[in-house]
Amino acid sequence: MTVGLFILAGLLGVVYVFWLASSRPSDETKPASPVAGPSATPRPTRSPRPTRTPRPTEPPQVSPAPSPTAGPQKVGVVAGHWQSDPGAICPDGLQEVTINLDVASRVVAILQTEGYDAQLLAEFSDRLEGYKADAFVSIHTDSCAVPEASGFKVARVVASAIPAEEDRLVACLIREYGRVTGLRFHENSITFDMTDYHAFREIDPNTPGAIIELGFMAADRQLLTDHSDMVAQGVAQGILCFLRGE
Ligand SMILES: [Zn+2]
């Protein structure tokens, strides 16, 4: 009887072990947990290998060939009488060169801020001979001789090699200087000294040039001395009008 029980227990043990062994694999096929299953990210499919881009037969052009006019445009600004003489002198001692230099320096600064290669030039600078630039303007001021006279003047050389270009520079200066300063154009008093201005005979004939008389040192004094920033802005805007082809 005891032996029979032992054999039965042994058989049950063997059956249990077999049952365990046979049920394990079916457990593993189940998902680990119902939550993890759906959220499990699918294994990404392998992205296709990019095909090699064919090598260009010729090296790509990095930048266009530099044109001869590359770089900032050049502008020459003469401070009338500077490093030469005082110019006109009023009875109270005010000198023309003081106004000219103040305004010309400001014009150069404005143009440089706008990205142009602007240069301040003396009245009889050695650099004027054959001077090449995209624009050239000489800045002068009229005397105190006629106390009631008011207004500005602009002129170019009479015998111009590029009359259309220089007329456009003159027109731009008249339009913009008048607009910014509010001064009127003193039309009928362009003098021979202006149209035969010495620098016009020195600079390269293909450099568009003009001379401006900013106003009269008596009647226009307040504008010329107290508002030289506005006066300079008027000249600079006239030059920019020309350079931008407006
Ligand atoms: Zn002068």
Alpha helices in the chain (DSSP H): 2-29, 36-39, 96-113, 163-181, 192-195, 198-202, 221-226, 228-243
Centroid of ligand 1 to alpha carbon of 155 (angstroms): 13
Distance separating alpha carbons of residues 192 and 144, to the nearest angstrom: 19
Residue 160 is assigned to a structural domain of this protein: yes
Question: For residue range 102-115, what is the model confidence (pLDDT) as tens digits?
Answer: 999 999 999 999 99
Centroid of ligand 1 to alpha carbon of 212 (angstroms): 9
Residue 37 is assigned to a structural domain of this protein: no
Centroid of ligand 1 to alpha carbon of 162 (angstroms): 24
SS3 16: helix
Domains: count for the chain: 1
pLDDT for 95 equals: 98
Centroid of ligand 1 to alpha carbon of 80 (angstroms): 6
Centroid of ligand 1 to alpha carbon of 72 (angstroms): 29
Residue 189 is assigned to a structural domain of this protein: yes
Residue 35 is assigned to a structural domain of this protein: no
- 217's tokens: 């040192």
Q: What is the CATH number of the domain that holds 133?
A: 3.40.630.40
Centroid of ligand 1 to alpha carbon of 119 (angstroms): 19
Centroid of ligand 1 to alpha carbon of 73 (angstroms): 26
pLDDT for 67 equals: 47
Residue 194 is assigned to a structural domain of this protein: yes
Residue 59 is assigned to a structural domain of this protein: no
Centroid of ligand 1 to alpha carbon of 224 (angstroms): 14
Could you tell me the pTM of the whole model? 0.72
Centroid of ligand 1 to alpha carbon of 152 (angstroms): 13
* Amino acid making up residue 82: W
Centroid of ligand 1 to alpha carbon of 132 (angstroms): 23
Centroid of ligand 1 to alpha carbon of 215 (angstroms): 11
Q: Which residues pair with 118 in a beta bridge?
A: 75
What does the angle CA 47 – CA 51 – CA 56 come to, to the nearest 5 degrees?
Answer: 150
pLDDT for 143 equals: 96
Question: For residue range 144-164, what is the model confidence (pLDDT) as tens digits?
Answer: 999 999 999 999 999 999 999
pLDDT for 141 equals: 98
All residue ranges of the chain with pLDDT < 70 are: 1-69
pLDDT for 47 equals: 53
Residue 212 is assigned to a structural domain of this protein: yes
Contact 197, 157 (CB under 8 A): yes
Centroid of ligand 1 to alpha carbon of 128 (angstroms): 17
pLDDT for 25 equals: 44
Centroid of ligand 1 to alpha carbon of 177 (angstroms): 18
- 92's tokens: 């109270």
Range of the domain at 78: 74-243
Centroid of ligand 1 to alpha carbon of 123 (angstroms): 9
pLDDT for 55 equals: 56
Centroid of ligand 1 to alpha carbon of 216 (angstroms): 11
Centroid of ligand 1 to alpha carbon of 143 (angstroms): 8
* Amino acid making up residue 25: P
Residue 26 is assigned to a structural domain of this protein: no
Q: 135: closest CA among 17, 242, 28?
A: 242
